Amino acid sequence: MRFSYCLLLPIATTVATFTLNGAEAPGGGVAGDAARGRILFQQNCALCHATGREASGGGQGPSLAGVMGRRAAAGADFTFTPALVHSGLVWTPATLDQFLANPGERVPGTAMAVATTSAADRRDLIAFLATLQPATPRNATDEAATQKKVRTPGDWENDAPGVKHRIEIAQLPKPYMTESAGNGPKLLPRPAGAQLAVPAGFKVSLFASGLSGPRLLRTAPNGDVFIAETRQGRIRVLRAGDGKESPAENTIFASGLHGPFGIAFYPTKEPRWVYVGLLNSVVRFPYHAGDQVAAGPAETIIEKLADSTGGHTTRDVAFSMDDRRMFVSVGSGSNVAERMPVKTAEEVRAWEKGHAHGSAWGSEANRALVLAADPDGRNVTVFATGIRNAVGLAVQPRTGLLWASTNERDGLGDDLVPDYLTHVQEGGYYGWPWFYLGNHEDPRHAGERPDLAGAAIIPDVLVQAHSATLQMTFYPLEATGPAAFPAEYRGNIFAALHGSWNRHGRTGSKVIRVRLGAGTTPGDYEDFLTGFVIDDQHVWGRPVGVTVAHDGALLVTDDAAGTIWRIAYVGQQR
């Protein structure tokens, strides 16, 4: 997750769709098929978890090397939720089974979001985990080499409101020019005196706290703010009067949902439904303006998005300006389809006769793409392919174009591959997993798809690699209210960057602005909200969602601290 939640993790990014079983074999061994468990692990857990000392292919969460018999949250290579740290658990077949069968019940407050009930799969996974040996400790020389790095313009130390960034393709390094890092952020409480920074004329203040991992949020036409608390399986509604710095009402709109993330209102101006993107489906609730609790049960609109649910789990939903089309993003199941079988040219042609051009297959079938459908869920088609993880979708108000905020792949070095914000072309191919940024071939798939050479569309705005771009929003063209931004901000993009794990020098953990319109330079972006990073290893906040409130203020969720921040324009004189 980058954006979801990991097996045994706190603030991680991918859902393991299989849980573990606590059955023990006679004599104290672990019953189960370890070979099958290894396959299950590779399909569903490897995006987050390494099984040894390696950093790539599992650095988003803690290594599971030697996990059996280890105290929960004891690893030194990851930042764990306080709930898991204080749980007192020791990982045994029985405790793993209890935790992963119902994480929130066993450890209230854990960030593990998805439970699975298959006893057979849990049993085999436990058998595989029991074979993993503890990693060899690094010596002092190794540690010094690991921590040695060169400062670059993308590092957090160069961040400040108004600082402009531009990623030039011609200046990007070749793959593996730097070692792939496993530098997951360690979360600390907000340091005394720590302040967030915004441009002159703006004021940032704490809007809400005590939330449970708030992620994507969207503002209803009447001004209510809907928030996805993914790991709790619910949608929350906050109501605040114009100009108020905190909500007056706080209500649960719907609960018992399976990995809720995307939220959309339909029809867009006078909605009768609230749509929610779940882990592998799309549902909608009947809605009347002002409803703070769903007026009826969920209706399933799209029953199944893909055959697999491992890997990236964020499913956003958006509607076209004319309300005729619904868009749904479905992220990849892995980093770069490392275990997807290779097809011959003839097999590729046969596959694409029944699938969109540039679409992946095997366990990645119907992944790493954006779908389009009728608002009632009929006529589902592939809108664009090769988009590794389009976490956030938004429709541009001036043009009606669909835009996506996308997490790109990891493991090629500190500055590859750039994340991006882009308008999405219907029928377009954006490179994953074979290529990136036009004709740059991923060395892990060298020679596999010569037919796609040069076919990958170059995105509009490249963002520092590993920033973890999440939700994006367009500032309204006709925003009004006491907190409304000046005219030059109308129609601009604001996007949340969750922050890096696969980079030696930390990047992200901020909100950026992209100026759109006459006189702007395509491809530039600039810092808007900064200050969450403490140093290369530590942060006190991780932005996820952005929305514009009824009064014109920008609201930003922080899923690490369970807060929402409010940024209002107050004038240059203050």
Convert the pLDDT of each residue in 105-130 to its tens digit. 788 766 565 666 688 888 888 988 88
Instruction: Give the pair of three-digit tokens for residue 170.
Output: 């011609």
Question: How many percent of the chain have pLDDT more than 90?
Answer: 69
The DSSP bridge partners found for residue 227 are 217, 236
Please name which of 562, 557, 541, 539 lies closest in space to residue 184, comparing C-alpha atoms.
539
* Residue in the structure block whose two tokens are 């020019």: 177
- CA 134 vs. chain centroid, Å, equals 29
The DSSP bridge partners found for residue 384 are 370, 428
Say yes or no to pLDDT of 268 above 90: yes
Exposed / middle / buried, residue 112 (Cβ in 10 Å: 0-12, 13-18, 19+): buried
In this predicted structure, what is the pLDDT of residue 54?
44
Q: Which residues are within 8 A (CB) of 244 and not within 5 positions of it... i.e. 6 or more apart?
A: 551
In this predicted structure, what is the pLDDT of residue 6?
43
Instruction: Give the pair of three-digit tokens for residue 3.
Output: 């954006």
| Number of CB atoms found within 10 A of residue 70's CB | 18
In this predicted structure, what is the pLDDT of residue 66?
79
Please state the φ and ψ torsions of residue 169, each to the nearest 5 degrees. Answer: -60, -40
The DSSP bridge partners found for residue 421 are 405, 461
Cβ atoms of residues 500 and 508 within 8 Å: yes
- Kindly report, residue by residue over 505-544, the tens digit of the pLDDT: 999 999 999 998 766 667 899 999 999 999 989 999 999 9
Say yes or no to pLDDT of 10 above 90: no
Say yes or no to pLDDT of 334 above 70: yes
| Number of CB atoms found within 10 A of residue 256's CB | 9
Say yes or no to pLDDT of 55 above 80: no
DSSP 168: -
- Residues 449-478 have a mean pLDDT of 97
- Residues 233-250 have a mean pLDDT of 97
| CA atoms within 13 A of residue 121's CA, in its CB half-sphere | 17
- Kindly report, residue by residue over 420-431, the tens digit of the pLDDT: 999 999 999 999
Q: Is the peptide bond before 417 cis (omega within 30 degrees of 0)?
A: yes
Query: Concatenated DSSP letters for 186-227?
Result: EE-PPPTT---B--TTEEEEEEE-S-SSEEEEEE-TTS-EEE
CA distance 16 to 77: 20
Cβ atoms of residues 309 and 18 within 8 Å: no
Using only the alpha carbons of the chain, give its radius of gyration.
22
Higher pLDDT, 213 or 57: 213
CA distance 531 to 286: 40
Class of domain 26-129 as given by CATH: mainly alpha
Give the DSSP H or E segment for 103.
Answer: helix 103-106
Mean confidence (pLDDT) of the chain: 87
Q: Which residues are within 8 A (CB) of 198 and not within 5 positions of it... i.e. 6 or more apart?
A: 161, 204, 528, 529, 567
CA distance 497 to 527: 10
* Residue in the structure block whose two tokens are 């090769």: 386
Helix ranges, 427-499 (H): none
Please state the φ and ψ torsions of residue 478, each to the nearest 5 degrees. Answer: -125, 45
Higher pLDDT, 257 or 15: 257
In this predicted structure, what is the pLDDT of residue 553?
98
Say yes or no to pLDDT of 200 above 70: yes
Q: At what angle do helices 119-129 and 93-101 cross, to 10 degrees?
A: 130
DSSP 145: H
CA distance 214 to 227: 6
CA distance 185 to 560: 11
Cβ atoms of residues 219 and 548 within 8 Å: yes
- Residues 371-386 have a mean pLDDT of 98
- Would the pTM count as exceeding 0.85? no
CA distance 525 to 554: 17
- CA 248 vs. chain centroid, Å, equals 29
Positive or negative torsion for Cα 380, 385, 390, 393 = negative
In this predicted structure, what is the pLDDT of residue 343?
97
Say yes or no to pLDDT of 84 above 80: no
- Residues 318-344 have a mean pLDDT of 96
Question: How many percent of the chain have pLDDT more than 70?
Answer: 83
pLDDT band at residue 100, thresholds of 50, 70 and 90?
confident
- Residues 239-255 have a mean pLDDT of 97
Please name which of 41, 43, 47, 96 lies closest in space to residue 67, comparing C-alpha atoms.
96
Query: What residue ranges in 97-195 does DSSP mark as E strands?
Result: 164-165, 186-187
Query: Concatenated DSSP letters for 342-372?
Result: P--HHHHHHHHHSS-TT---GGGTT-SEEEE
CA distance 277 to 313: 10
Q: At what angle do helices 119-129 and 34-44 cross, to 10 degrees?
A: 100
- Residues 28-51 have a mean pLDDT of 64
